[in-house]
Amino acid sequence: MGKTGRKNKVYSAEFKIGVIMEMREHHLGYRETARKYNLVRQSETAAASMLHRWERIYLEEGAEGLMKERRGRACSAGGTRKGRPPKLDKKVEEDLIAENQRLRMEIEYLKKLSALVLAEERENGKKQK
């Protein structure tokens, strides 16, 4: 029932702020602003709705609100964690993977060492009797 095979255009926070400031400064309507910035999507109503949403976010949360990622559903328990988690830098991700592998190897080493110590203690216990 949705949009098949079509990507949504992503606008930067700076662009959104500029559009909202221009609209408020020159007292333009949503449809006029959509036409001026060529934001017309499938219909003028959809573009006007998008501008209305940007303006509401700007008025409620300020410029920082337009910089947040808002895709996805909010967590039903507390209404937190909306949108995708931010992606890690490639170097940070590689470092985390390497650390994870190193820690797994360390755990395996400690398990083997513990087994050897336990076996040696059992062997020493049998010899003393």
DSSP calls for 75-118? PTTTS---SPPPPPPHHHHHHHHHHHHHHHHHHHHHHHHHHHHH
Q: Tell me whether residue 18 is in a domain.
A: yes
Q: Tell me whether residue 8 is in a domain.
A: no
pTM: 0.51
Q: Which domain holds residue 104?
A: 87-129
Q: What pLDDT was estimated at residue 52?
A: 92
Q: What pLDDT was estimated at residue 23?
A: 92
Instruction: Give the chain's domain count.
Output: 2
Question: Would you tell me the crossing angle of helices 44-61 and 13-25 to the nearest 10 degrees?
Answer: 90
Q: What pLDDT was estimated at residue 43?
A: 79
Query: At which of 36, 67, 98 does a domain end?
Result: 67
Query: What is the tens place of the pLDDT at every residue in 17-63?
Result: 999 999 999 999 988 888 888 886 667 888 888 899 999 999 988 88
Query: What is the tens place of the pLDDT at every residue in 64-99?
Result: 888 887 776 666 665 565 556 667 788 999 999 999
Same domain, 49 and 91: no
